[in-house]
Amino acid sequence: MEFYLNCSLKTSADPAVAKDAIAKIMAEAETGILAKGAPVGEGAKIKSWSLGDNKINLELTSGKNVRVHDAVLRLRKQIAEALGKSKIGVRGLDVEKFTITVPSHHDLKNKSIPYVKSVLFDEKAQTLCLELDVGESEMKNQVPDRILTLLEDKIEQVEYGAKAEHWHLLWESEDRPFHYVNDPTEDMLKSGWLKRGAGRGQWIHGSASTKLFRTFEKIVVDEILTPLGYNEMIFPKMIMWDIWKHSGHAKGIYPEIYYVCPPKTRDPAYWEDVMDYYKVTREVPVELIKTKIGDPIGGMCYAQCPPCWGFFQGETIAKDSLPIRVFDRSGTSHRYESGGIHGIERVDEFHRIELVWLGTKEQVVETTQKLHERYMHIFNDILDLKWRKAWVTPWFMAQEGLAGIAADEVTGTTDYEAPLPYRGKDGEWLEFQNVSINGEKYPEGFNVKCQTGEPLWSGCSGVGLERWTATFLAQHGLDPENWPEEFKKRFGEMPKIVKFM
């Protein structure tokens, strides 16, 4: 990746009076202000500079670190201070040439990109020639960075669009040493934090792990739900077929749901033989019960957001009510986990906070970006995790038994993944969080309209408390002394653990 910028700083008078001071700035810049925040030797470079008629000409190059548009702003600040001593001001920035070159084997010259006047392709790289009006204001507002992100997105679409399944890395935190390498579930069992429940993939959480759950909940409330304006709702946890028909899940969920079958009647006399059998044998007559229950009417909550759409189904929403941001944390979800169950991270009964947002395309995309920013803050600054995020097959397509990617460049799912040290260096990473933009899928599926006639979009994100706990403890261990300071403040004192003799 290479950035190139040929530009000039406009001055209110001849800058030659401060030539020595400017020369000193230029001589020290590559090891000083243009290297700050970059690995050694990877900061921006000054290819040339000269003084002109009421201007300072600059030619800069850079890689991905301290990009040229950031570099010129750093230089501008120091030069302005030096010129100020001679009562000369910096009046602006003129761009002569600004290019961004990105390695790629795909020709995107026919793609339209804002602020880009042309795209050159030489079979190995794309070179974007930016419009000359990408000036100081646009640089401060990170327009060149967003152009690069957009270009990379378009390259990704070309590279992954034809694949049946895909996973593409978007971001990864720095590597770090792990001082705890045990299986946290096993240590939680030994320490009395939890016990296995009677059901498959079910746990009874003691006071310690429950307090972890509640602390994570409070972090989500304080750092996401309250600042981003989410309101709480209660979604049904027993889901009827009609909901799954509209959501699309009825296409492929059957191997994974827990079914709900009502009794054929509530008449005690009808059930007397079942009750008598148990009284005599102390065994539940499952085969006899099968003859006395009705057909499945649906299943237990599997994907937490679809049932909320019954609230909006068939309605026209006033424009001033948008965007709508809601969440639910009122009960458990249930899924017959594929691939077997393991520990607290792969269970059949789990606890989630489900976030759903609804609005215009622009509102949904904006809300999603803010959510990504808040998650990054939590995982980096509060939980101090090693993690990454990747663009994957949209969750709603996967749950419908579909593969590939969405048809547009915005709709889709981002998975957040983390290594579990006890699995070893090359062990599978755990998906512990996701964020999805679902496009028009659910508003169309549930016939939800906007007052103005604009298409409605939606997004969703599930905070899995078991997955957060498994990730956090796998990387930091059970001893609070080894937990990040910011998290310890929020957790407080460890509750008393019940001891068994």
Q: For CA atoms 380, 382, 384, 388, give the dihedral sign.
A: negative
Decide if 354 is catalytic: yes
Which of 325, 434, 438, 450 does the annotation list as catalytic? 434
Which of 138, 415, 417, 466 does the annotation list as catalytic? 415
Decide if 335 is catalytic: yes
Provide the pairing of β-strand 45-52 with 238-240.
unpaired
Decide if 374 is catalytic: no
Residue 463 near residue 353, CB atoms below 8 Å: yes
Which of 94, 366, 431, 486 does the annotation list as catalytic? 431
Helices (H), 85-199: 136-140, 143-160, 184-190
For the stretch 132-140, contacts whose Cβ atoms lie closer than 8 Å and that sit 24 or more positions apart, written own/partner, are 132/95, 132/96, 132/98, 133/95, 134/95, 134/98, 135/92, 135/93, 135/94, 135/95, 136/73, 136/76, 136/92, 136/93, 139/69, 139/70, 139/72, 139/73, 139/93, 140/73
Q: In sequence order, what are the beta bridge partners of 100?
A: 3, 128
Nearest C-alpha neighbor of 238 from the set 256, 254, 258: 258
Residue 393 near residue 413, CB atoms below 8 Å: yes
Decide if 54 is catalytic: no
Residue 483 near residue 377, CB atoms below 8 Å: no
Which of 67, 325, 329, 467 does the annotation list as catalytic? 467
For 349-396, strand residue ranges (E) read 349-359, 388-392
Which of 301, 305, 308, 450 does the annotation list as catalytic? 305
Decide if 467 is catalytic: yes
Decide if 186 is catalytic: no
Nearest C-alpha neighbor of 224 from the set 364, 412, 370: 370
Decide if 214 is catalytic: no
Which of 59, 138, 349, 354 does the annotation list as catalytic? 354
Residue 410 near residue 394, CB atoms below 8 Å: no
Decide if 447 is catalytic: no
C-alpha Rg value of the chain to the nearest Å:
29
For residue 323, cis peptide bond before it (omega within 30 degrees of 0) = yes
Residue 438 near residue 410, CB atoms below 8 Å: no
Total number of residues shown for the chain: 501
Which of 337, 366, 400, 486 does the annotation list as catalytic? 337
Q: Which residue has the tokens 């403890």?
A: 473
Where is 73: in which H helix or E strand?
A: helix 68-84
Nearest C-alpha neighbor of 359 from the set 270, 252, 437: 437
Decide if 287 is catalytic: no
Decide if 434 is catalytic: yes
Which of 76, 325, 335, 352 does the annotation list as catalytic? 335
For 28-89, strand residue ranges (E) read 45-52, 55-62
Catalytic residues: 305, 335, 337, 346, 354, 415, 431, 434, 460, 467
